[in-house]
Amino acid sequence: MNYRKLGKTGFSVSEISLGTWQVGGKWGEPFSHANADQILNAAADAGINFIDTADVYGDGESEKAVGRLVRSRSERIYVATKCGRRLQPHVADAYQPAALRQFVEDSLRNMQLETLDLVQLHCPPTDVYYRPEIFELFDQLREEGKILHLGVSVEKVEEGLKAIEFPNVTTVQLIFNMFRQRPPELLFKEAARRDIGLIVRVPLASGLLTGKFSAQTSFSADDHRNFNRNGEAFDKGETFSGVDYATGLEAVEELKAAFPEQPQLAALALRWVLMFDEVSCVIPGASSPEQILSNLQAAELPALSAEQMQKVREIYDRKIKPLVHHVW
């Protein structure tokens, strides 16, 4: 495992880490703590030392599982959680310091930890980034010993750029993959200048970049890849990175043709993300221990050549960019 610095937190984190949106099992299935324990321990055994969760994952069950892992292991495992998405309705006015404080304290209770390494605002509405009192709350929480660092999880590049103007923001979590290539144009440069850690989520475009889907693939009724393709439940960009499914399949076939020597497209897609030095870590999910091992194959791949990087960019520019570049 290779490790990278997580911005001004100073944490040295595994470049391939773990997101836990589906750690309790596959989409739409009841949360399985037995499955979560297997996945989380397989990750720690492999040298993964950064786990990303949220209070809404499994309605708090994911946090409980992550906390149990941390308390049971001797290694230093960094925990990042998120707050804000429990607000109903999820609107800017609902973001109030008292509510967010309660969410942080609930997360501490869920995980049975004294301090959270990193708390991230969970994709708040854009207006929240213009309210200093929200960010000031986390200075108070740090002084109280309840958190070490504040980060943000964003939907749009513009939100990340605004967030890092606050001096106590240490990390930005964002969608970045072969189908979402806008962030390096400005956000990566500004993040590097301000020593901001970049945490990459949705690196496989909701599974599209595994190369295992087809027009005949079906998703369960409770799977966001079935019900959120047009943003019915949350930001459309979280599902297939906002790319039309049929167009995404066409682009995947072109990627396969461009890299015939690499049978595992998922590993290639993760390796592509890690080609960017500004990235601190990538957090693919896993619904089984086997997927942990599959994700780690990316670390064993050689660096992509300039010609290979250009191939990926050419496919993006022609097939994907007109659909997503200007939106996120």
Please write the tens of the pLDDT for every residue from 32-52. 999 999 999 999 999 999 999
Q: What is the pLDDT of residues 181-192, one digit of tens each?
A: 999 999 999 999
Residue 30 has pLDDT above 90, yes or no: no
Assigned domain for 248 exists: yes
CB 80 within 8 Å of CB 50: yes
Q: Percentage of the chain surpassing pLDDT 90?
A: 95
Assigned domain for 286 exists: yes
Number of domains in the chain: 1
Reported for 61-65, long-range contacts at CB under 8 A and 24+ positions apart, including other chains, are: 61/24, 61/31, 61/33, 61/36, 62/20, 62/21, 62/23, 62/24, 62/31, 62/36, 63/107, 63/110, 63/111, 64/33, 64/110, 64/111, 65/20, 65/23, 65/24, 65/33, 65/36, 65/37, 65/40
The CATH number of residue 215's host domain is 3.20.20.100
Measured distance between the N- and C-terminal CA atoms of the chain, rounded to whole angstroms: 31
Q: What is the pLDDT of residues 83-139, one digit of tens each?
A: 999 999 999 999 999 999 999 999 999 999 999 999 999 999 999 999 999 999 999
> Taking Cα atoms as reference points, which of 9, 11, 15, 1 lies closest to residue 278?
15
User: Which strands, in side-by-side order, build the sheet including 279-282?
Assistant: 18-19, 50-52, 78-83, 116-122, 147-153, 169-175, 197-201, 279-282
**What range defines the domain where residue 128 resides?**
3-323
Report d(CA 106, CA 146) in Å as an integer: 11
Assigned domain for 38 exists: yes
Assigned domain for 328 exists: no
Mean pLDDT of the chain: 96
Assigned domain for 65 exists: yes
> What pLDDT does 58 receive?
92
Q: Report, as an integer, the average pLDDT of 269-279.
A: 98
